[in-house]
Amino acid sequence: MEIKYFGIRHHGPGSSKSLLKALQLMQPDVILLEGANEIDGLLPYINDIGLMPPVAALIYNPKNLQQAVYYPFTLFSPEWQTFLFAFRHSTPVVHMDLPQSLCFGLDLIPEKLADIEKNEDVISEDAQVIAKDPLGYMAQLAGYEDSERWWEVMFELGNPNEDVFEAINKMIKTLRDEIGTKGQALNLLREAYMRKVLRKTIKNGYKKIAVVCGAWHCPVLKCFTDYNIKEDNDLIKGIPRVNTKATWIPWSYNKIATSSGYGAGVLSPAWYELLFINRSEATSVWMSMVSQLFIKEDIDTSSAHTIEAVRLANTLASIRGLQLPGIDELSEAVITIFSGGYNSQLELVREKLIIGDKMGNVPSGIPTIPLQNDLEFNIKTLKLSKYKKVEVQWLKASSNKPRGSLDLRQEHDLKQSQFLHRLCLLDINWGILDIATGRELSTKNEYWKMQWKPEFAIQIIEAGMWGNTVFQATENWVIKKSSESDTLMELTKLLEKVIYADLPSALSALVEKLKNLASITQDINHMMNALPSLVHIHRYGDVRNTKIRMVNVVMNGIIPRICISLSASCTSLDENADRKMFEQILSVNQALILLDDQKHLVFWKETLKHLVNNERVGGLIRGAVTRIVFDFSAFSIQQVSKIMKFSLSRSVDRSVASGWIEGFLHGSGLLLIHNPGFWEIVDSWVTDLDDDEFQELLPNLRRTFSKYSTPERQKMLQIVKEGKSKTDLTFNAELDSKRVKAIIPFLKLLLED
């Protein structure tokens, strides 16, 4: 009987090459591979041409989706190459690691691992340091800052050779002998199970057994006869089994990278793939890709840069005693030759050519849940397949419209929008709705930033509990969510999303709940928070051809109640509550302006007028409502000047006056620039402050003026330098009503488009 042990590094291209040579030479009868045995059921799909790495085996508990584990594989992963070798040679593969059904069961009996930890060896402080990061310790001894770089130099960049496995095994055995079992409770359990599978394989009559596992486990498997069978069995005994399911899902190089937090990841997946496919030409090919990338990004480069960068990388490798340049040498060459010594362009190279943006593919024939099938059907029907990539893309982007856009007046675009909004409700944020700005601002357009993420796989499974189609699952989720929501703001925000997603049944249930809750809600804060969303629904709902008349009943009932309760709710507030109410008043004011209902606006203006001179109301709110009433032309300049002089007089507390200034000047500095009388009052007030008062109020003043645009601040600076405003103090603010009426239809056309 012949048993050979191959200690590999997950996702190591050098390990893969060495392993393939060793397996070819050995021609085993069976291969034992580290990994949960649930993966065995997924192996028949390996030869499917539609299954293209990077992919991951997803194993999960269908009754508790918090229990889910991913086993990622790349083209250059030793395990993946083992799968391919086994299929080519008709060699059976048996996964030998502790099944996930038992790993999930461990969560039910945490005392199991605790009992094992009690029996850990007592080791020295130095050994404890080694135990935390044994390979990092070896790297430090060799003069490297991290284990990733050390392992790459020692085992990945050199000529692949099957003899390397014996060297790795001796090194790991020395380390494990040094640190004992400290911190190894779960590994001890896993290794006991691996030895159990190994014994069973021998008992089944196999003569040539290849054991492929992480290098750390090799020493305790190689000497499996030194371990007591009963003790191994007792270690595993008593762990409850949990039912599991498994499937293949697409994965990405970004998720393989250690920067994503993946513990068994590598720093440079894209480079490792190139190293695996074309080791001898890897450096020159990679540098050519850098040049092509820079050309695509309109960064100055030439073939001379590529040639010189290859020479420099090879020279650095020779100086450092390496057979091939590693990612450090390649990066240094890029910085020196392509980037003129600066790091500015290295992040782009890192993202595209070191980590890479590659994403795998899973064929449609692999079993999935009904929701997944419906989702894929919708993606295909709505022509969204090309956006199912790991890199960020704008939906319907073009050279003329780099941010793309959906036109909601077009049926196909509207259906795409509704589908993406439904996924967002299910927390599958494939598309992120971006805020339109400038010329793009329109109620008929949406801008979506698309990026597919591998972790959506488990979210899709989780969403499957709500229904077998995206539409059904979203409606059921919304109905359940609405039953749990107990504030108007939660319901109105949810209602807005439901309208975007076009969910009629959920909309009806939600509005009914909203009406009932609105009728009994006494808290003005809840009503004020809810109003902007209700107005937005009223104003823009028809763009989506959604019937929202029933929402208007709720909205029209809330507005008078806000006006009636506002005065009492603004009195005797502490600083935090005062600022919160200030923000809510501004929000409600914007909503009512958008609503443009004269009946409500008249009631609102009269309500605010009562707050202007109410000394029980904080200065911040009084300043804000004075400004709002003035903007509505309900106060003249003379009236506001009088109020302003009193609010900033010496008889008023400086902190209250400071709040009044902040509230009154909030939003725009043009009020001061074009009203010299206001400017002089503020200037006089600031001038009268003594040094201590000025220092105390400076943060408030800074906060107020820092929010103005740059041109506004520059104009104010100019006025200060000149010592006065040149604007005519008798500026006539009255408008010619006939001329105004003539342009209103045209303005409506512009603003409503």
Instruction: Check whether residue 605 and residue 479 sit in a common domain.
Output: yes
State which of 448, 481, 505 marks the end of a domain.
448
**Phi-psi domain of 90 (left: phi exceeds 0; alpha: psi -120 through 50; beta: other):** left
Is the same domain home to 156 and 230? yes
Are residues 667 and 583 part of one domain? Answer: yes
In three-state secondary structure terms, 249 is strand
SS (H, E, C) 131-152: HHCHHHHHHHHCCCCCHHHHHH
For 187, the token pair is 């590994």
**What is residue 237's DSSP assignment?**
T
Look at residue 61 and tell me if it is in a domain. Answer: yes
CA 658 → CA 261, 581, 686, distances in Å?
Answer: 48, 17, 10
Mean pLDDT of the chain: 84
Within a domain: residue 35?
A: yes
pLDDT of residue 730: 43
Eight-state DSSP code of residue 632: T
685/99 Cα distance (integer angstroms): 76
Residue 728: the pLDDT is 43
pLDDT greater than 50 at residue 492: yes
What is the 3 state secondary structure string of 554-607?
HHHHHHHHHHHHHHHHCECCCHHHHHHHHHHHHHHHHHHHHHCCHHHHHHHHHH
What is the pLDDT, as a whole number, of residue 726?
44
Number of domains in the chain: 4
pLDDT band at residue 512 using 50, 70 and 90 as cut-offs: confident
Query: Residue 82 contacts by C-beta under 8 Å, 6 or more apart in sequence?
Result: 19, 23, 31, 33, 93, 212
DSSP string, 177-229: HHHTTTT-HHHHHHHHHHHHHHHHHHHTT-SEEEEEEEGGGHHHHHTGGGS-H
The HSE-up count of residue 359 (CA atoms within 13 Å, CB side) is: 15
Averaged pLDDT, 638-642: 83
Percent of the chain with pLDDT over 90: 33
Mean pLDDT value of segment 560-577: 89
Question: pLDDT value at position 437?
Answer: 52
Query: Where a domain ends, among 330, 355, 380?
Result: 355
pLDDT (tens digit per residue) in 307-359: 999 999 999 999 988 888 988 899 999 999 998 887 878 888 988 898 888 88
Average pLDDT over residues 239-264: 81
Q: What angle do CA 713, 718, 722 make, to 5 degrees?
A: 150
* Residue 255: predicted pLDDT: 84
Query: Are 491 and 528 members of one domain?
Result: yes
Residue 724 forms part of a structural domain: yes
Return the pLDDT at 101.
95
pLDDT in tens, 12-37: 888 899 999 999 999 999 999 999 99
On whether both 682 and 717 belong to a single domain, the answer is yes
**Do residues 377 and 350 share a domain?**
no
Positive or negative: CA dihedral 722, 728, 734, 735:
negative
- Choose between 385 and 153: higher pLDDT: 385
Mean pLDDT along residues 34-53: 92
Residue 26, pLDDT score: 94
Q: Are residues 480 and 430 in the same domain?
A: no
Instruction: Tell me which residue range forms the domain holding 332.
Output: 280-355
Answer whether residue 266 is part of any domain.
Answer: no
Looking at the structure, tell me whether residues 424 and 475 fall in a common domain: no
Higher pLDDT, 521 or 543: 521
Residue 287 lies in a domain: yes
361: helix, strand or coil: strand
Q: Is residue 464 part of a domain?
A: no
Asked, for residue 666, whether it belongs to a domain, the answer is yes
From the list 51, 52, 46, 71, the residue with the least C-alpha distance to 60 is 71
Most confident of the ranges 379-388, 512-521, 572-581:
379-388
Q: How far apart are CA 125 and CA 240, in angstroms?
A: 36
Assess if residue 713 is contained within a domain.
yes
- E strands, 405-480, where? 406-407, 431-434, 445-450
Q: Tell me the mean pLDDT in the region 264-274.
A: 85
Please determine, for residue 671, whether its predicted confidence score (pLDDT) is greater than 70.
no
348 and 374 both lie in a single domain: no
Range with top average pLDDT, 95-104, 173-182, 640-649: 95-104
> Is the model's pLDDT at 468 over the cut of 70?
yes
Residue after which a domain boundary falls, among 231, 260, 289 = 260
131 in the same domain as 43: yes
Which range, 84-93, 179-188, 332-341, is most confident? 84-93
Task: Assess whether 304 and 403 both reside in one domain.
Answer: no
- Both 433 and 527 in a single domain? no
CB 149 within 8 Å of CB 330 = no
